[in-house]
Amino acid sequence: MPAAAKRDYYEVLGLGRGAGEDELKKAYRRLAIQFHPDRNPGNKEAEERFKELNEAYQVLSDPERRAQYDRFGHAAFQGPQGAGPFGGFDFTQGFEEVFSDIFGDFFGTGRGRTRSRTRRGDDLRYDLEVEFDEAARGAEKVVRFQRLTQCDECHGTRARTGGSAARQCPNCRGTGQVRTQQGFFSISTTCGQCRGEGMVISDPCPKCQGQGRLRKQESLSVKVPPGVDNGSRLKLRGEGEAGYGGGQPGDLYVVIHVKEHELFVRDGNDIMIEVPISFPQAALGTEIDVPTLEGKIKLKIPPGTQASKIFRFKGKGIVDLHGYGRGDQLVKVIVETPAASRRASANCSRSSRSSTAKR
């Protein structure tokens, strides 16, 4: 979705800018019930509204993100420069937590009971800039970033080592849900004592404050395969944030940004270079040295070569990322006509380009 089409988060929730935490929760709750996919099976619009709502809530319920949003709008979370090295953030992760926290067992007991105490770690995104040559040949790059890792003190158990271990919550007997009878209705809500986790830790690990995870500076060596292009995404399985309560770690996505080359322009797996030759060289024929990705190659220019003629070096382009051979190098000779070139070289090159296109 283009940024311009994105609705204002406050508008999505039907709130004013000054809305408090309680108001926010209430609005989210009301709208989430209305647009929840379980209540609107097959309704695409409701599904979109639900997603939009969820995204808005995730940002506005987090004081730090909300402050960023208030200052910069949607731009706060877009692009490589958006939020530090990790441009985007994953809206789906953590959703269940937010959701169950508010709803308790609103949508039926099945959901509550199957809610796992373990949770997969979030995926991370890293925007990596590489040189043109590195993209063509492949490279080994070191990326540095922060991520939540399993606490090395309690190994993710969240309890103090040598202290009393986590035990089943006595209030809900490990289900994470408490049922109360109200007239005819039996209402199930999230257990307040364990916050729905079913376990209580009376003696939390002091190093991670019972979180089981710690934020750490990491550096990782990443193999960039030959042939990557702008927007190529490398997935490093398990290199995202550590899971919660022993859950699987998330993945790290490295998004490639290729710098421009001073001579070559890339078009898919082909690369193009423009080489100027003089009018006499074009008229009489000559031999010139042309730079390629692997050093210079001699190119024979036959007598009477027209301006903007394109020569092709087969297989001298970029190796296909998925192993489908290799592109070509296209060499476009720009014939510099004696006087005209000095007079209006810009005009000249434009008209010669359009004449090639016609042919």
C-beta closer to Zn ion: residue 194 or 335: 194
Q: Which residue has the tokens 């996919």?
A: 37
Residue 228 as a binder of Zn ion (CB under 5 A): the answer is: no
Tell me the window of 47-55, 62-70, 105-113, 205-213 that interacts with Zn ion (CB under 5 A). Answer: 205-213
Residue choice 7, 119, 207, 332 for contact with Zn ion (CB under 5 A): 207
Q: Which residue has the tokens 């408490």?
A: 178
Residue 194 as a binder of Zn ion (CB under 5 A): the answer is: yes
Q: DSSP readout, 265-318?
A: EEETTEEEEEEEEEHHHHHH-EEEEEEETTEEEEEEE-TTPPTT-EEEETT-SP
As beta bridge partners, residue 204 has: 159
C-beta closer to Zn ion: residue 126 or 244: 244
Tell me the window of 36-44, 185-193, 297-305, 339-347 that interacts with Zn ion (CB under 5 A). Answer: 185-193
Cα separation, 186 vs 261, whole angstroms: 68
Strand pairing of 252-258 and 124-130? Answer: parallel
Tell me the window of 97-105, 188-196, 228-236, 266-274 that interacts with Zn ion (CB under 5 A). Answer: 188-196
Residue 205 as a binder of Zn ion (CB under 5 A): the answer is: yes
CA torsion sign for 133, 137, 140, 144 is: positive
Q: How far is the CB of 135 from Zn ion (least distance, A)?
A: 41
| Nearest to 186, CA basis, from 108, 80, 277, 301 | 108
C-beta closer to Zn ion: residue 37 or 163: 163
Write down the H helix ranges in the chain: 9-13, 21-35, 44-60, 63-72, 95-103, 109-114, 132-137, 279-284, 340-343, 345-358
Residue 188 as a binder of Zn ion (CB under 5 A): the answer is: no
User: Which residues 151-170 are close enough to bind Zn ion by CB under 5 A?
Assistant: 151, 153-154, 169
Residue choice 40, 68, 78, 193 for contact with Zn ion (CB under 5 A): 193
Q: Which amino acid is at 137?
A: R
Residue 203 as a binder of Zn ion (CB under 5 A): the answer is: no
Q: How far is the CB of 292 from Zn ion (least distance, A)?
A: 55
User: Which residues 307-346 are close enough to bind Zn ion by CB under 5 A?
Assistant: none
Tell me the window of 80-88, 184-192, 220-228, 233-241 that interacts with Zn ion (CB under 5 A). Answer: 184-192
Q: How many CB atoms lie within 10 A of CB 196?
A: 23
Residues that bind Zn ion (CB under 5 A): 151, 153-154, 169, 171-172, 191, 193-194, 205, 207-208
